[in-house]
Structure 1
Amino acid sequence: MILTLTANPSLDRTIELSGPVLHGQVQRAVWAGQQPGGKGVNVSRAVAAADRDTLAVLPGDLDDPVLTGLDAIGLAHRAVPTGTPLRSNITVTEPDGTTTKINEPGSPLSRQTQNALLDLVAEQAVGASWVVLAGSLPPGVDDDFYARVIKRIRQLDRPPLIAVDTSGAPLAAALMASPDLIKPNAEELAELLNAAGLLHAAGLRDDSRAHSDCGASDSRDAAELHRPAEPLDTAELHAIADRLESSPQLAARATSTLLNARGPRPRSILATLGAGGAVLAQPDTAWHAQHPPMEVVSTVGAGDSTLAGYLLGLTDGREPDAALARAVAYGAAAARLRGTGVPSSADARTDAVTVMPLETSAAPLTGSPTAHTDTHTDDTSHRHEGTAPEAEEAR
């Protein structure tokens, strides 16, 4: 059984337009829909669609639209009452696959509610194979909440494996508890390496910028992820993310650098690279998986389906590289669906995915990062290579 915890669930509303967004003008939608969502909920929905056991744990009152939506689709769930409505997220999609998301912050969770969630997860995790801690944290919840959950679960007699899919400070804090798996996108991976002072060691910051880390980039380690670090400015963050998405080899080096740093660290990393596919890294090995070009309808939830596909592969007894192929197939299938759609096993074309081993050496890279072959065409089909990145992974 795969159990998921979504600390900040939402009612995901999608509006599909017939053309690009026209700022300041009135436009009519050609389609609209809504689903109960949040990253953990989406993972559970994808697992359930594969006829595998799953349980979604979340805060929320029984009459909240998110909870009644879960009842309507028959998804097994347990909730801790909050006395406040859950948030709504709005997604606007354009014909070329461009996705714009507007996410509400969510309602604050009291300390009592947080403790009740932690108790419920620990209780329901008994006998589970994986526990997925996913999504953003609502107001009033400390950044170390997921780390606290990990430590609590690890106190069980036979603790399940733990995957974390969040971003920013909650992700950095969760790494202090050494989860079994993290699933960052390219920007989140760059932020983690920056917080650890490892951008230069990973080949993502040149010598001219190394002095900005006070000459200590290679000496700091993952144990320092909890310490405040100067964030990357938006331009540099996007530039680094673009390099990671266009070079699987560079992404392998980046993930390997983090995995082999001193101190607490994840045991494996599933890094989603948008149109560049995904890299799966373990301390001494890595693979890259890529899906052929396809038409993208909506990228929202594609990363959640990617994680679900990977865990389904592992729980079915697949080797890591085969599980990676299933992950990328699931992410690509989700990107072909409207709204926060989740694919079935039949939708995921694992046989179409190419998986290649990668060199994980931390030796300095020579030359420029591997050039990305842009297979996007200018015709009306709007085809993209692989699964496009989500508008906001943590949600």
Structure 2
Amino acid sequence: MIVTLTLNPSLDRTIEIARLTRGSMTRATATRLDPGGKGVNVSRALAAHGVPTLAVVPCGGPEGEQLTELLKLEGIDVGAVPVSGRTRSNVSLVEPDGTVTKVNEPGGSLRQEDLERVDEAVLSAAVDADWVVASGSLPPGVPDTFYGRLGRQLNELGVRFAVDTSGTALAEALEAGPALVKPNRDELAETVGFRIDTVADAIRAAEAMRAAGAEAVLASLGADGAVLVGERGARWGESPVDRGRSAVGAGDAMLAGYLAAGTSGSEPLVEALSWGAAAVRFPGSRMPGPSDVDRARVRVHPTPDLLRPLSGPHHEHGMEQIR
């Protein structure tokens, strides 16, 4: 079983529109409501492929109850932890060319007693787990050391720990020696302090993260695929997508594919890339199932083209300041 922890879950409403014009009335062409949050998406992708998973989520207010029910409808076991705050809602406006405009509410604050209940729920579930995955940002009230402390507790239990977060929370988690970290291109750059403009840059940054404590690094590079750096060395792979509809949740599907490979005996990088590419073909944060995954399109390069430039600039705020 794979346990996921999402400290900042959400209800994600995706609205498809013909065109977004500020200040005008816009009619929706389609809409859907999904349970959201990075760890939640990992569980959704795993459940869609029949991989046993438990999603631990702090839930507050009517939105929290709705989140729990939506997860159960997808066949996911839920470790709902009642908290004092309210579960947030996010809205994504999707245009036909794939442009996505997101409006995300801030997460509700978590008090110390809330965190203690979350910690207890995760450690209790970890007894029967192959992996525990902590994904997403930390909501207000949660110290940057939370993931690192959880990782050390899981190490003592002999449970593999994967983390997908950013900033100081990621740096703290690295010190706990996680079995896997899954940064994106911008999170790589932010962590190591230099730009990621080529495949070689991505591998060098991943190796630096391994030196900081991670056993393996799966770094997603958007349209340029991903690099995997671990005990077997460094490999780069890609899975072209002819027509992408939304990149929301693609990194989460990629992480789920990597983890699922351990239960099926499949090649982890192939599973990761094929699941991530499948997610890009869907609107909103819909997760792919077995019939959506095309492993034949994946190309893994045991000897990476190190000088290959990565497409597009860094996108996250502050990346332009890294030289």
The TM-score normalised by the length of structure 1 is 0.75
Q: What is the distance in 2 between the residues matched to 1:116 and 1:293?
A: 42
Q: What is the distance in 2 between the residues matched to 1:304 and 1:180?
A: 17
Q: Which amino acid aligns with 2:146?
A: F
Match of 2:242 among 286, 294, 303: 294
Q: What is the distance in 1 between the residues matched to 2:125 and 2:209?
A: 31
Task: Name the counterpart of 1:248.
Answer: 199
Q: What is the distance in 1 between the residues matched to 2:178 and 2:49?
A: 25
Aligned structure 1 segments of 4 or more residues deviating by more than 4 angstroms: 389-392
Aligned-pair distance for 1:359? 6.0
Is residue 2:11 matched to residue 1:6? no
Task: Name the counterpart of 2:278.
Answer: 333
Is residue 2:115 matched to residue 1:114? yes
Q: Which amino acid aligns with 2:162?
A: A
Aligned-pair distance for 1:101? 1.9
Is residue 2:298 matched to residue 1:353? yes
Write out per-residue CA displacement over residues 8-58 of structure 1, whole angstroms, 9 at most, x where no aligned residue: 100011111113x22222221211111111111110011111111100001
Q: Which amino acid aligns with 1:350?
A: R
Structure 2 residue ranges without an equivalent (≥5): 318-323
Structure 1 residue ranges without an equivalent (≥5): 200-239, 375-388
Report if the CA contact (8 A) 2:237-2:301 is conserved. yes
Is residue 2:228 matched to residue 1:277? no
Task: Name the counterpart of 2:258.
Answer: 310
Task: Name the counterpart of 2:132.
Answer: 131
Is residue 2:16 matched to residue 1:16? yes
Aligned-pair distance for 1:112? 0.5
Distance 1:31 1:286, change over 3 A: same
Q: What is the distance in 1 between the residues matched to 2:53 and 2:228?
A: 23
Report if the CA contact (8 A) 2:236-2:304 is conserved. no
Q: Which amino acid aligns with 1:308?
A: A
Report if the CA contact (8 A) 1:285-1:359 is conserved. no
Aligned-pair distance for 1:98? 1.7
Task: Name the counterpart of 1:96.
Answer: 97
Task: Name the counterpart of 1:41.
Answer: 40
Distance 1:87 1:290, change over 3 A: same
The TM-score normalised by the length of structure 2 is 0.91
Task: Name the counterpart of 1:229.
Answer: none
Q: Which amino acid aligns with 2:118?
A: L
Aligned-pair distance for 1:373? 7.3
Structure ID, larger Rg = 1
SS in 2 for 1:40: helix
Q: CA RMSD in A?
A: 2.2
Report if the CA contact (8 A) 1:252-1:358 is conserved. no
Report if the CA contact (8 A) 1:281-1:287 is conserved. yes
Aligned-pair distance for 1:96? 1.3
SS in 2 for 1:136: coil
Distance 1:316 1:391, change over 3 A: farther
Distance 1:42 1:334, change over 3 A: same
Q: What is the distance in 1 between the residues matched to 2:257 and 2:232?
A: 23
Is residue 2:268 matched to residue 1:323? yes
Q: What is the distance in 2 between the residues matched to 1:373 and 1:36?
A: 31
Distance 1:182 1:12, change over 3 A: same
Report if the CA contact (8 A) 1:259-1:283 is conserved. no
SS in 2 for 1:133: strand
Task: Name the counterpart of 1:209.
Answer: none
Write out per-residue CA displacement over residues 325-375 of structure 1, whole angstroms, 9 at most, x where no aligned residue: 111110110111122100012211112100012469xxxx8xxx424579x
Write out per-residue CA displacement over residues 227-246 of structure 1, whole angstroms, 9 at most, x where no aligned residue: xxxxxxxxxxxxx34x1xxx
Write out per-residue CA displacement over residues 205-262 of structure 1, whole angstroms, 9 at most, x where no aligned residue: xxxxxxxxxxxxxxxxxxxxxxxxxxxxxxxxxxx34x1xxx32331122123323xx
